[in-house]
Structure formats: structure tokens, C-alpha cells
Copies of this chain bind each other. A is one copy, B any other.
């Protein structure tokens, strides 16, 4: 009496459950007249096929999954989320890109964020209900990842490639190379400083390599290490400026400040402004990521725009490909990246998007 099943529909239509199933899975294999009869009973009964039963019987769910980290404080939700523009997240774009791509391929998307502690559990839970899974770097512990990868195709997004798994990342090296080259060559700067991320951030390190490469190319002395490191927050950016421009700062000031991400760059921008240092007049500043805020700050921030939506799209593509051919070789894709030249490096306003 509660939710109708194939049995109910079959009985009402005077056919067997096999026929009912066929009407949904393979309509052409059922005579038109019979099909109509079945569909009519289904409609009358309000029959909705059970995804679980379907998945169990057919060994596939028609769902792709995405696990991503969300460090947002759940409690503060209503308070901080009041301003939509501010909180556009990295993951939103990945989700959107992935959902659209998934739809094109006939899949729905199951998403699950995770705090570090429960990440493993969340992961296996979604892994158990999807045909393929994308994992945003650092979202889950390696151990869990490995287990899960034995069950469903997994593609790792950003971060470090994982042994034997498909992988998509953006061209961190290239991006930083481009933008550093721009400072060095177009703006003819000679002394730059790099504010990196934590040493264990693969993305951050790749960016530093690009920074180094640009120096190499320009025939300048190769910086061995980032001049400073921060934790990628705005606060860290401020801190970096304090250190570089503070009373105890040694040596000559750099002509350009290259931050490993936008957040820090924005923090740095604020700190510079407070100190009365003109950007880009006195010093050029660049970021990385292309967060929305980078267009809102004054001066607008020169940065590298990451194609987050693409990440999601490529993830789906890789999953679909692997689903079609399970034993293909693991593939790593590198997404091109575009430098956006704005005011903070000394380019005229309106040059970039």
C-alpha cells in the first residue's frame, strides 16, 4: 500500500514484472500497446522505480560523486553566508562544472563535503553509491582513497597526482611563470619577492618553480626559496608585508610582491595601503587563483585565473572514459591557465577581465 513497486504495476497492467522493467529499461522491446498499458498503471499508482533496487540489480547507479573539503564553520552559517558575493567558493565552480558535464552524460551528481575527521567515512559512503568519484585534493586521507579506488574509478582533482589514479590539475607552473615573466619583462622589474604557501602544498610549490623558471629565463639570479611562507589566508598576506616592510626589514625593498594565492595578495594589498605604500606605483603585487574578490579590491589584482569549472568537466570526462574502459592507463590532465593583467602590476585598468 505504501510505495508501489514493479509488482503492483505489473499486476495492475496484467503483465509480469519483467515486462514492467523492460518498459523502463528498453521500451522498444515491448509492444506499443502493452507499453502504454504499463505506463498508464504506473502513472495511476504513482510508481517511481527504486534507485537502490535498480543499482543493486544492474550493478551501476547512474550517479557520479564528488568529495571536497569544506572548512566552513557550520554553526556560523547564517551569520556569514549573508553576503553571497563574498563567499563564492572554489568548490562551487567545480560542483557546477561537474554537474553539467555529468548531466550531459546522463549522470546525476552526489556531493559530500567533509571535515578532516570524518572524511574517511564520508568518502566510503559516497563511494558505495556512485559509479565514479572525483576527489578534490586534500579532501580525504590517502588510506581511504586507496580503498575506495579499488571499488570505483576515482579521479583526483588538483594537488598531487595519486599513484595509479586519473588526475586533473591546473598549470600552476605555467601560470606563475607567465605572470612572473610579465613583471620581469613587460614591467622591467628586477627585484621580486615571493610569498609562498606551506611547504607541503604541491600547488604552492609548483608555483614557486614557475617563479624560479621566469628568473632563469630572464637571466636573473635564481631564488632558492620563497622569501616568506604563509598559510594562504589574508592574515598571512598582511603578516608578510609587515615582515618585509617592518622596522626590522633588512636590505632593499622588492619592486614586486608575488603571492602564491589571491587571499594572501589581498591581505598584502591592505597592509601596503595602510603603510602608505602605493600599488603599483611603489611596488607591484600579484596573486593566483582569480577569486572574485580579486576584481573587487583596489587596485584590482593581477592574478592567474583558474578554470575551476573545467576541473569538474574534465573529471567527468575521465570518469566516463574509464567507466567505458576500465583498464586504460591512468591519465593526467593539465589544464591551461590564463594570466589576468590588472592594475596591481602596473597595467592599465581594464586590461584584463
Residue positions of A touching B, CB distance < 8 A: 3, 43, 46-56, 61-63, 70, 72, 74, 77-78, 81-85, 88-89, 92-93, 95-97, 99-100, 103-104, 108-114, 122, 124-130, 146-148, 150-151, 290-292, 295-296, 305, 307-310, 313, 338, 353
Contacts and interface: CB of A to CB of B under 8 A. Distances in A.
Nearest to A60: B52
Contacts of A291: 84
Contacts of A292: 84-85, 88, 292
A270 to B, nearest CB: 16
B81 A92 contact: no
A72 B103 CA distance: 12
A61 B74 CA distance: 23
20 contacts: A50-B128, A51-B61, A52-B53, A52-B129, A70-B99, A78-B307, A78-B309, A82-B305, A83-B305, A84-B88, A85-B88, A85-B292, A88-B92, A95-B111, A99-B111, A99-B112, A103-B112, A103-B122, A129-B129, A292-B292
Given A78-B310, A104-B74, A48 B148 contact: yes
Which 10 A-B pairs have CB atoms at the shortest separation, nearest pair first?
A51-B129, A52-B55, A85-B292, A51-B128, A46-B150, A52-B56, A81-B309, A108-B112, A48-B151, A92-B92
Contacts of A46: 146-147, 150-151
B104 A96 contact: no
A82 B151 contact: no
A63 to B, nearest CB: 7
A78 B151 CA distance: 31
Nearest to A68: B99
Contacts of A103: 70, 74, 112-114, 122
Given A110-B109, A308-B84, A3 B151 contact: yes
